[in-house]
Structure 1
Amino acid sequence: MLHYIIVKWNDNTDKQEIVKKVRTLYADAVKISGIYNVDIKENVTPRDNRYDLMIVLDMDKGSLTTWDNSELHKTWKSEFGIFIDKKCIFDCDNR
């Protein structure tokens, strides 16, 4: 399945700096059992009604609990949550 994390940063967030940190954190996601690929995309249209970042994890459907309980996911929530204004999570088949 594809697990999408779509984020809108707070107004006072340095978007370029935070994306570097996100990329560094998520570089090790494929080391987690059942996660095969990570794709990180930045928004290219700077409008107020746009989200800023999309993270896509290609993973086994059954690995969602493993992901949720992983240290990487816990770090994501604890260290980046304060910078997030809005977040959308979406899961779908990867066919």
Structure 2
Amino acid sequence: MLHHIIVKWNDTVDKQETSQKVRALYESAVEIPGIHNVIIKDNVIARQNRYDLMIALDMDEDALVTWDNSELHLKWKSEYGSLIESKCIFDCE
């Protein structure tokens, strides 16, 4: 499945710098059992009603619990949670 995390940063965030830090953080996601690939895309249209970043994890559905409890996911939430104005989580085949 594809597990999407779609993020809108708050107004204080340097989007380009933060995107690079998120990419570095997620580099090791494929080391988590059941995660096969990570795709990170930046928004290319700067409008107020757009989200800023999309993270897609290609993963086994039963790896979601492992992901939720992983050190990387907990670090993502603790280091970036306060920088997020809103987010959407979307899972699909």
Segments of 4+ moved more than 4 angstroms:
none
- TM-superposed CA distance for 1:12, in Å, is 1.1
Amino acid at match of 1:73: H
**Aligned residue number for residue 39 of structure 1:** 39
Q: Cα deviations across residues 11-38 of structure 1 (Å, max 9, x unaligned)?
A: 1101111111100000000000000000
Pairing of 1:78-93 with structure 2 (within 5 A):
78-93=78-93
Tell me the distance in 1 between the aligned counterparts of 2:18 and 2:27.
14
Unpaired runs of 5+ residues, structure 1, are: none
Tell me the distance in 2 between the aligned counterparts of 1:15 and 1:44.
12
- TM-superposed CA distance for 1:53, in Å, is 0.2
**Aligned residue number for residue 9 of structure 2:** 9
TM-score, normalised relative to structure 2 = 0.99
Amino acid at match of 1:63: A
Tell me the distance in 1 between the aligned counterparts of 2:11 and 2:52.
11
Tell me the distance in 2 between the aligned counterparts of 1:41 and 1:10.
18
**Aligned residue number for residue 66 of structure 2:** 66
Tell me the distance in 2 between the aligned counterparts of 1:43 and 1:18.
13
Matched, 1:56 2:56: yes
Paired residues, what number? 93
